[in-house]
């Protein structure tokens, strides 16, 4: 589903590179975790995968399409849930989703039905007309996910989708991701909540300082490092030093 080959990226005016020869391959149909400490390069990698940031060197092939030459095709097949809430606060969730849906060429009853379908799944249908600015953090996160789903992406990429949400919203998001994956869709997800990642991910890739430091089946990796769980494995691999 995803081939990342030797990615290098140094942002303009940055003193240090953000990615230093990152290579990862994820197969189709799995839930993959892209994990790493603060500043490891997860968001930069996601931004390159969806064409928002250009790499200095290296290649990314998403579902058979190269990001350098086939970005339009990738945009149709991939849904991205950004770390920050990408919705207009003054508009209702329905208006926001209608706007996003129209960008993907959806309209009329088909679009309305699809919006309500997802609003129901994410428990937001009773607040369809409420402005985003009046939503709780958990409601905003759930709405942010729906915005990436309306075009039914084959691959869903989520950057910390459960950051700052309560247990109920997190459960709802986790259940949805398992169901979406069960329907045959691939998922790539980043999180600092390693218990959650262990429950969700078939495979994890751990990156640090812009390089891959471990990758494999989650349970196999934990046992091969004689770790108690994913958090223990993560600390064994990335160390206990606090990152800036
Ligand atoms: N637009 C930018 N300009 C300059 N440096 C940047 C920019 N975006 C990210 N960086 C730097 O690149 C490095 C990797 O950042 P990135 O956001 O990709 O890491 P991350 O793994 O997603 O971190 P976090 O877990 O904190 O979200 C960091 O050192 C960061 O400061």
Question: How many residues are listed for the chain in this entry?
Answer: 244
Name the average pLDDT for the chain.
96
| Residue 16 confidence (pLDDT) | 94
What was the ipTM of the complex prediction?
0.98
Does 18 reside within a domain? yes
Query: Could you tell me if the CB of 36 is within 6 A of ligand 1?
Result: yes
In a domain, 109, yes or no: no
For residue 1, report the distance from its CA to the centre of ligand 1, in Å. Answer: 24
φ, ψ of residue 33 in degrees (nearest 5): -100, 130
Q: How many domains does the chain have?
A: 1
Residue 96 lies in a domain: no
Question: Does the residue 149 lie in any domain?
Answer: no
Q: How many other C-beta atoms lie within 10 A of the C-beta of residue 212? A: 17
Q: Is the beta carbon of 218 within 6 A of some atom in ligand 1?
A: no
- Look at residue 121 and tell me if it is in a domain: no
Residue 206 in domain: yes
Given 3-state DSSP classes, what are the helix, strand and coil percentages for the chain, each rounded to the nearest 5? 40, 25, 35
CA of 130 to the centre of ligand 1 (A): 33
The per-residue pLDDT for range 173-221, each reduced to its tens digit, is: 999 999 999 999 999 999 999 999 999 999 999 999 999 999 999 999 9
Cβ–ligand 1 distance for 14 under 6 Å, the answer yes
Least confident piece of the model among 153-157, 218-222, 229-233, 239-243? 239-243
Which CATH number covers residue 227? 3.40.50.300
Q: Answer yes or no: is pLDDT of 244 > 80.
A: no
Q: Domain span at residue 221?
A: 2-85+155-238
């Amino acid at each position: 589903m995803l081939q990342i080959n030797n990615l290098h990226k140094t942002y303009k005016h940055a003193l240090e590179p953000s990615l230093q020869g990152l290579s990862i391959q994820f197969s189709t149909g799995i839930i993959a975790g892209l994990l790493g400490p603060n500043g490891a390069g997860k968001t930069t990698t996601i931004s390159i995968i969806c064409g928002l940031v250009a790499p200095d060197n290296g290649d990314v092939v998403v579902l058979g399409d190269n990001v350098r030459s086939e970005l339009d095709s990738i945009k149709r097949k991939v849904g991205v849930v950004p770390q920050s809430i990408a919705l207009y606060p003054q508009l209702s969730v329905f208006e926001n989703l209608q706007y996003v849906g129209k960008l993907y060429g959806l309209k009329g009853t088909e679009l309305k039905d699809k919006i309500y379908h997802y609003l129901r799944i994410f428990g937001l249908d009773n607040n369809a007309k409420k402005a985003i600015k009046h939503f709780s953090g958990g409601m905003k996160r759930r709405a942010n996910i729906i915005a990436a789903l309306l075009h039914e992406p084959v691959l869903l990429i989520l950057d910390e989708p459960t950051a700052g949400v309560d247990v109920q919203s997190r459960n709802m998001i986790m259940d949805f991701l398992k169901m979406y994956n069960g329907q045959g869709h691939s998922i790539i997800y980043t999180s600092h909540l390693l218990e959650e990642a262990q429950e969700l991910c078939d495979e994890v890739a751990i990156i640090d300082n812009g390089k891959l430091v471990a990758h494999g089946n989650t349970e196999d990796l934990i046992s091969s490092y004689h770790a108690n769980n994913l958090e223990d494995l993560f600390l064994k691999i990335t160390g206990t030093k606090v990152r800036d």
